[in-house]
Amino acid sequence: MSSNNNNKDNNNNRLRTRLCGIALDNPVIAASGTFGYGYEFAELYDINRLGTFSFKGTTKDPRFGNPTPRIAECESGMLNSVGLQNPGVDKVIEEELPKLRACFHKPVMANVSGFSTEEYAYVCERLDAEEQIGWLEVNISCPNVHGGGMGFGTDPGMAAEVTRAVRAVTKKPIIMKLTPNVTDIVSIAKACEEAGADGISLINTMLAMRINLRTRRPLLANTTGGMSGPAVFPVAVRMVYQVSKAVGIPVVGLGGVSTPEDVLEMLMAGACAVEVGAANLTDPYACLHIIEGLPEAMDRYGVENLSDIIGAAH
């Protein structure tokens, strides 16, 4: 029994990493929008097994989201156009976070969205006072809303403006979540770093659409949506590689991560942690399976500790 415990402890030590100065038991983070507020998944397994998770995108006011249909399937992935449905920051603080605290005992990542610089700052300032929130993941990359979201993430000047506004109201680590729907991801990441960001997460979904052959109309009510899943993984790896090479702050890699091998590849590209998104929607145990499979995958590729391979491809 003691031998098994020693092996387990050794494997746990091998998986450890840090994100913006905060220790993680492992690099696997459930991505925002695919994990609710955590307690829904806590009914299935102990979510404290995760490195952490990023809870549902939060805005200043409640949002019903986009009209339905909001989901469309595609080869090796899916399209979504949910539109940041959430109860608003006040309800998140009053109702969601107390339920979360009952089942999750680690720092959690808060995903923040907005429709103006002032709104981003307001939400971050409100969440700054919440002790359990370890990081603020500032989403300037949502392709499914009009008048906000991705618009801030496609221009270096606007990305920097939001970063500065958020930096002024919080001492918590700020991770700017970037869109892949740009021609030069590096210039935007560097603008965020120069404006005070502590980290970068990328990529969010890629703008896409499907058409119903019978009705000859777009499948999504919003016409376009964000594509996620294994199909976008190579794009995500490329952008993580480019950005991690250009900035001196930590990078979180996401986009199609669904296996332990994907985690190793993202870390070699330069990420210090990864987020798992669409995989949670097809298998609620996806994050757990990835964590459990990591030691075996590491053995197969001669990796002693995950920290040894961060940026190895550079």
Burial classification of residue 83, based on how many CB atoms lie within 10 Å of its CB (0-12 exposed, 13-18 middle, 19 or more buried): buried
Q: How far, rounded to the nearest angstrom, does the alpha carbon of residue 126 sit from its chain's CA centroid?
A: 20
Cα 189 to Cα 34, 65, 66, 168, 206: the distances in Å are 24, 28, 29, 19, 17
Burial 271-285 (b: 16+ CB within 10 A, else e): bbbbbbbbbbbeebe
Note whether 125 and 68 are within 8 A (CB). no
**Residue 192 bears catalytic tag:** no
The helix/strand count (H/E) of the chain reads as 12, 16
Neighbouring-strand partners of residue 202? 253
Distance (Å, rounded) from C-alpha 53 to C-alpha 47?
A: 9
Nearest residue to 250 (alpha-carbon basis) of 271, 234, 230, 236: 271
Distance (Å, rounded) from C-alpha 209 to C-alpha 79?
A: 7
Distance (Å, rounded) from C-alpha 296 to C-alpha 288?
A: 14
**Residue with the two structure tokens 């952490």:** 52
Sign (positive or negative) of CA dihedral 89, 191, 20, 301: positive
Other C-beta atoms within 10 Å of 264: how many? 21
**Residue 284, preceding peptide bond in cis (omega within 30° of 0):** no
Q: Which of 20, 142, 192, 272 is catalytic?
A: 142
Which residues are identified as catalytic? 142
